[in-house]
Each structure stands twice: as structure tokens, then as C-alpha cells.
Structure 1
Amino acid sequence: MGDGLRYIGAAERRARLALRHRLAESTRAAGPAEVAESLVALHGTDPATVYLAVGARLTDPAKTVAETERALYEDRALVRMHGMRHTVFVFPVGLTAVVHASTGLAVAARERATLVKDMAKAGAPDAAWLAEVEQSALAALTRRGQATAAELAEDEPRLREQFVYAAGKSYEGVHTVSTRLLRVLGVEGKVVRGRPLGSWTSSQFRWTVAPEHPELDVAGAQTELLRRWLAVCGPATEADLKWWTGWRVTDVRRALAAIGARAVSLDEGTGYVVDGDVDLVAGPTEPWAALLPGLDPTAMGWQRREWYLAPELWPSLFDRSGNVGPTVWWNGRVVGGWAQRADGEIVWRLLEDLGGVERQAAEAAVSREAERLRGWVGAARVTPRFRTPLERELSA
């Protein structure tokens, strides 16, 4: 490309994605913890996404629900907590301290200050009162082991108190103390989401006290998180890294320097890989297809997505807030979308014109993945939390 840096094109980036994100059949994992370690984080805003993302990457997807539930709620090998961009993710338990220090502390400070400010504006009790309620609620949660907000309010009735948020504004609303306080405690790393009240698709979670972890240096934690992510998702640009982490660009640059990241040339400009990852990476020998859920960590991994998702497909596959819906992948790029109908059938559509023999091969591979998905999902019905135009059309 004329700048002396090794050029990594779209084809090689897709090959890296296939191998490192465990999407090619030969790279699939044995269990959920292995998938999470490979991807660094599983998007958890929509509970079903965690299971669907795991199932797409398991050698034996029949184990998806049972093994993921065990990892989350029994073995505690995986933890659902707030992470990058103030979003809920599922992380390997060994990464929770890194995530908390690298991304959670700054968000937590803002969230607590905002809560205290909002309560003061509404004439609600002061910070000392809130601290007393907080300690009482945490003690109750420790006694119970896990509980919903309503159950905690039985032990600490002050959690039911309400205050008006943004009075006089178009977005005025009434919040209970429990709703806002538990959110703050979550980003502070004091509580995490526990087992849901319903099935694996349920959004009604219990809360539990967060597992203990060491308090790490912020800069060191940022360095470690960026190193792990770049090893899985590199090459990536500064803009990709800033978007994924939610950090300031100065933090991104400091962490890149700390890990000795190597610059490479990409179609969209300068990118970075971890030291030792500059050499050519050959992709899987076999063609592959995948049906990934809405908000899948691969589909949402980069800010610039043209190398795996054509811009003309975005209106069909994204909602108005930029959330990606269920996607169909063929050899490292998004070529369509899928949905589940009320009768359980998995339906899909190719949006990209593959042409001739390649289209036949893609359709056969996607059909196999659709049957594989339907087989382990069984009687469950999955509706994405953030619905997209194509998903709505197909599911109807």
C-alpha cells in the first residue's frame, strides 16, 4: 500500500475471523466457557443471544442450554455483568476483575453521581439515606443468595420508594429506588445477574452478590483487555478499539503502546495486531456457513464492518439504533438474515447475489445450519429483543 506496512485485506481478515471466532466447523468448541474465552465476551443484553452465540460454535449444540446454564449458575465459570460501553456481557470469571477495572469504574462513578443528583432534584432522601438502604439491600441479598428486586424489597421496604425522574421533560418518568440502585451496584461490580425466573430466553433476572475479585490498576487492566481482544479480533483500527471498549482515544493509544501492538495496513487505513501476529494467516480449508443471533459478538465486533458486511445490507439487518439482527454468514461475510417463526421453523434469506455454483453450495450449507439450530432450540421460541426489518418479515 506504499507505507511500508504489511497489507491485510478483507479475505485474510475473514480467514482470521473464521478460525478465531470458532465459526468454521473444524474450529468449533467443546463447551460454553471455551467459546467465551475465545471471544473475550458474549453480548448479554438479550439473554437468548448468549445461548444462540454459544450454540453456533459448539461441536455438539444439543448441550447448549444445559451446559451454558451450568457454567452461568452452578459452576460460575461465566458471569453476566456490565462491561464495555455500559452494556451487559457474559465474561469468563477470570476476566471479571479486568473488565471491572478497565471499563466499569469510570461508568460506575458517573452512574452513582447521576442517581444521587436525580434523587436530590426530586426531593428524595439524601446520599446518606441511599447508602443505608444499599447496605441493607446487600445484606439481604447475601442472606438470600439470589433474589429479585421485589424479593429484596420484602426485606428492605425502602427499595420500593419512588421518585420522579426528569420532571417536566418529554422523557419524564417514575423510578423506584430498587431499579436505579441495583443498576448502580451492577456497574460497581457489587452485584451480578443470577438465574432468570423463566427459561433461557427470559429477561427477568434474579440478582446475586458478585464473586470476589482483586482490585486491579486501571491502566494495567485496560492493557490486558485490549491485548486479549486484539488477539481475537485483530487487525482493528483505533476507531474500532475506541468503539468496542468505550474508552477515550488516549487510553486506547496508551494500551496499544503498552502491548507493543504492530501496525498494519487495512483498506480503511492503519490497523493493529498484537506483536507476533503480522504473518499471513491461512483460513479454514472447508467452506462454512453460520447462523448468528442478533447482537452476536462477531457481528458487533468492529465499528467499520464493510469487510464482512456490505453497506447495502444494513437497512435490512440493523434496527434504527444500530443493533444488528440475526445474520446468515458464508465464508466470512454476512450474506443474509434469518428468523424463527411461531411454529419453530427456522427461515432464512440470502440478500447477496452469490451466483451459480457458489449460491448452491451456500444454500446447502445454510440449510444444514438451520436444521442444526432448530434441532437444539427445540420447543423454545426466540424473538430478538431488538427487531430488524428482515427478521420481522421472515418471522411473519
Structure 2
Amino acid sequence: MNAALPLITQAERRHRLGRRHCLAPSARAATVVQAADAVVALHATDAATVFLSARARLTASNPAAIEQALYADVSLVRLLSMRNTLFAVSTELAPHVDSSTARAIAVKERRSLLKHLEEDGQGLDAAWLAEAERATLDALDTRGASTGSQLSAAVPALRRKITVGRGKKYEAETGVATRVIRLLAADGRIRRDRPRGAWTSSQYRWVHTEPWPAVPVAEARAEIAGRWLHAYGPATEADFKWWTGWTLTDARKALAAIGAEPVRLDDGTTALVSPGDTLPEPAPEPWAALLPALDPSGMGWADRGFHLDPAFRASLFDYAGNIGPTVWWNGEIIGGWAQRGDGRIVWRLLGNPGHAAERAVATEAGRLAEWIGDARITPRFRTPLERELVS
């Protein structure tokens, strides 16, 4: 370790998280786009996460305001991107996410589907797929926003079934509709629109849209690296590689392109920050937050040791590494929460964070319950503590 490097302590990392992730009350965002940009992207695999993550970072909001950004203003869009995961990003950032990450995913998606079509042996090929895609876009132009089932009813090609893994243990017959629609979305030719049902629903309608403007890949990756390091630094190359899902070489090149600077951490290791981002970080006012499953503040690093006691991990994560609903106090995860069937928000604090933390968490739970109203939240990826709390 180079003792001449600037030192950033664990406490300062937590102070940064409170401010830069818009979680301390004085740092909260005024708009949904500002809330998303503060953490680069909001996880969107679980429909409720986008709404609850934005809510926690806004000075004032309701579900309708977030729906306005997603479906009316279209200032926030969902893209299959980092780690082959669905994220919601601002339309300003979307072309960079598309060029840096989503394009490569789309190429793999197309290659995979064409391989399955060839192996199925029905004579379905690239020409057939192109025609199925064209017919799907024509149906959207005619019908307007439509669900996958509505598109299948309108486009005969989408009702075709193929056999995947023929002759193998995992052989299964599957429809092509979901795969064709997923491919069109990955290509940026359709996007998710307002779902059927409430804001917690994942049964999206689809609309025809234009692909994102092309951005040179190196430029796009540097833009992502700069935004991520500002939001999550100090952090390591390994953290950035994990978050993006890129190769280590690509992650290193992007960090080098923005001139990332090394700093010392108080555990004896080194990490990176944005150029010049080494000034001491004073503490914000005390803050508590109830963040949803897959929230960016819990999923932003491969190594979460500065804000998560390793002893709590087994309770708060599922077997695949997805974080569940968490309770935070001054930049540290101190417990988990859940919503029971009757709508009540319940939580459990792990360890003994003190009476001030308990009072603040109770206040936040009340605010969250009022905001959710009659909606019911069940995370897609269930964790041990969340299951216990609702049982």
C-alpha cells in the first residue's frame, strides 16, 4: 500500500453513499431522472424495484409520477444491459448503455435463437426470423401498445413452437413469442410500455420504437465508467467488472480512459475514484432508508464490506446473490423488511444499532406504507429474512 495516496475511510464511504445515492434527506432528488442518474441505473428485473428505489431518493413522489417518467414522458426506459439484467436508465444515458453493453447482448440473443431454430429441424432460419420480426412490428404499428399474448394472437409466426435440447435430458417444447419479443427489445426496436394492471405488474405492453443513436463503444464505456465511479467510488476494478458484466480488460480500459485515480482505504487496500475526487466527505444528517430488493445501493459493488456486516449476508441475500429488501442507517445495512398480506410493513434489525436508529426506521416504515397504499409487494427473488417476516 502506498502511504502517499489519499485516504478515504469506511465512514467517508458511507457518507458518500448517503449523499451521492440521494438517500440522506438533504440530498434527495427532485425528479425521477435525477434519482436514476444518481445511481447510474435502477434495477428493473422486479417491476416494483424501479418505483421503490426512485421513491427512496425523491423529495416527494407517488407511483403516478414515476409512471409519468416511464410511459408518458419516456424520460426513463428499461434496457436489457449490465450483467444481462434489466435496468431503467435515463434516455440521455440510454444510447451509451446500448452501445457499451446492450448491443453485445442483442448479438448473443440473436445467435442463440437462430441456433435453437436450426436445431429444431422445422426449416426455420434467419429469413423466417426476419419475417416474424417484421410482422410483429407491423402488428404494433396497427394495434398500438400490446402485450405478448395480444401479439401472439395477431401474428401467426409467434404461435410457433420449437423443441430446445432435442434428445437431451433438458429437452422441452417452447413457444418462440417470448424469444422473438425479447430479441426485438434487445435490438432497441420495441420498448416496454405501461403494464396491464398496477405499477407492480410485469405484464408489459410493447410499443414500436426507433433504435438508439450509435455511440462509439469506447466512448460509451468511458461515459458509463465515469458515472459509475462518481456514484460508487471508491471502488475497485473487480467491483466495476462485476457491476457491468464486461470483461476485465474492457473494464480496465474504460477506467483508464477517464483517468481514475487510486486511493487508500482504511482496511489497507487500494481503490479508485474519479479524477480529483479525494476531498474529505463530512457526515450528512442522520438518515434511515427502507430500500427494495435489488436496490442499486445494495447491488453496486462486488465487495460490500464497507456497508454490510458479513454476518448479515445469509439472511439478506438469496442463493444467487440477489439482495432482498434492506433497512439502512447512516450508510450501513442494519436489517431487512417485508410487506405482509394485510399491507403492514414489518422489519427486523440485525445487531443493536441503537434507539435513534429504531425510531428513524419506524418513521420510514410509516412513510413507505403510506406511499405503497393498497399495493402489495412480493420480491421476485425471495430471501430468508423476507420469508420469515411475512410468515
Q: For this structure pair, what is the TM-score category when the shorter chain's length is used for normalisation? A: over 0.9
- Provide the residue aligned with 2:53 in structure 1: 53
CA shift at 1:212, angstroms? 4.5
- Provide the residue aligned with 1:296 in structure 2: 295
* Unaligned stretches of 5+ residues in structure 2: none
- Provide the residue aligned with 2:17 in structure 1: 17
Residue of structure 1 aligned with 2:85, choices 84, 87, 96 = 87
- Provide the residue aligned with 2:246 in structure 1: 247
Q: Is 1:121 the counterpart of 2:82 in the alignment?
A: no
Contact 2:98–2:212 (8 Å) recurs in 1: no
Q: Which amino acid aligns with 2:17?
A: L
> 2 CA distance for matches of 1:371 and 1:340?
12
Equivalence map 1:283-362=2 (5 Å): 283-284=283-284, 286-354=285-353, 359-362=354-357
Contact 2:187–2:211 (8 Å) recurs in 1: no
> 1 CA distance for matches of 2:151 and 2:68?
25
Quickly say closer, same or farther: Cα 1:351–1:171, change in 2 above 3 A.
farther
SS of the residue 1:151 aligns to = helix
CA shift at 1:213, angstroms? 2.8
> 2 CA distance for matches of 1:41 and 1:310?
25
Q: Which amino acid aligns with 2:56?
A: A
> 1 CA distance for matches of 2:168 and 2:12?
50
CA shift at 1:90, angstroms? 0.6
> 2 CA distance for matches of 1:246 and 1:142?
34
TM-superposition CA deviations, 1:234-272 (whole Å, max 9, x none): 111000000001111111111111111111123373311
Quickly say closer, same or farther: Cα 1:64–1:170, change in 2 above 3 A.
farther
Contact 1:340–1:383 (8 Å) recurs in 2: yes
CA shift at 1:214, angstroms? 1.2
Contact 1:19–1:283 (8 Å) recurs in 2: no
Contact 2:2–2:264 (8 Å) recurs in 1: no
- Provide the residue aligned with 2:369 in structure 1: 374
Contact 2:118–2:125 (8 Å) recurs in 1: yes
Q: Which amino acid aligns with 1:305?
A: R
- Provide the residue aligned with 2:387 in structure 1: 392
> 1 CA distance for matches of 2:95 and 2:181?
19
CA shift at 1:168, angstroms? 3.6
Q: Which amino acid aligns with 1:370?
A: A
CA shift at 1:211, angstroms? 4.6
> 2 CA distance for matches of 1:188 and 1:212?
7
* Unaligned stretches of 5+ residues in structure 1: none
Contact 2:77–2:90 (8 Å) recurs in 1: yes
TM-superposition CA deviations, 1:158-202 (whole Å, max 9, x none): 111000112243433322111111111222222221111110111
Residue of structure 2 aligned with 1:103, choices 101, 119, 123 = 101
CA shift at 1:9, angstroms? 2.0
SS of the residue 2:270 aligns to = strand
- Provide the residue aligned with 2:182 in structure 1: 183
> 1 CA distance for matches of 2:91 and 2:116?
33
SS of the residue 2:335 aligns to = strand
> 1 CA distance for matches of 2:294 and 2:287?
20
Quickly say closer, same or farther: Cα 1:170–1:307, change in 2 above 3 A.
farther
Contact 2:36–2:90 (8 Å) recurs in 1: yes
Contact 2:163–2:172 (8 Å) recurs in 1: yes
Q: Which amino acid aligns with 1:56?
A: A
Quickly say closer, same or farther: Cα 1:189–1:161, change in 2 above 3 A.
same
Contact 1:54–1:64 (8 Å) recurs in 2: no
Equivalence map 1:162-201=2 (5 Å): 162-201=161-200
Equivalence map 1:134-153=2 (5 Å): 134-153=133-152
Q: Which amino acid aligns with 1:123?
A: G
- Provide the residue aligned with 1:43 in structure 2: 43
> 2 CA distance for matches of 1:17 and 1:211?
36
> 2 CA distance for matches of 1:169 and 1:309?
43
> 2 CA distance for matches of 1:67 and 1:211?
25
Quickly say closer, same or farther: Cα 1:9–1:207, change in 2 above 3 A.
same
- Provide the residue aligned with 2:231 in structure 1: 232
CA shift at 1:139, angstroms? 2.1
